[in-house]
């Protein structure tokens, strides 16, 4: 799922090597019910907005 998200949002951009870990960490926080800041600067804007949409 993460690969599809990155390909859809950042298909032409180089993907930071730690992007998957950041996205998966954020997903785990959401699943566990912990508060996640809306303006997390560690994620690129395109990916962050796509995560919110899904």
What is the number of structural domains in the chain?
Answer: 1
For residue 23, which of 44, 8, 39, 7 has the smallest C-alpha distance?
A: 44
- Rounded to whole angstroms, how far apart are CA atoms 34 and 2? 20
What local confidence, expressed as pLDDT, does residue 50 receive? 53
What local confidence, expressed as pLDDT, does residue 40 receive? 55
pLDDT tens for residues 2-52?
777 766 665 666 667 688 788 888 888 888 987 776 655 555 555 555 555
Q: Which domain holds residue 45?
A: 2-34+41-53
pTM tops 0.75: no
Tokens of 28: 């785990």
Helix (H) and strand (E) counts for the chain? 3, 0
Q: Sort 25 into a burial class: Cβ within 10 Å, 0-12 / 13-18 / 19+.
A: middle
């Amino acid at each position: 799922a993460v690969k599809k998200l990155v390909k859809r949002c950042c298909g032409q951009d180089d993907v930071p090597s730690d992007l998957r870990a950041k996205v998966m960490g954020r997903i785990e926080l959401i699943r566990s019910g912990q508060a996640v800041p809306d303006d997390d600067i560690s994620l690129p804007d395109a990916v962050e907005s796509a995560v919110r949409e899904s």
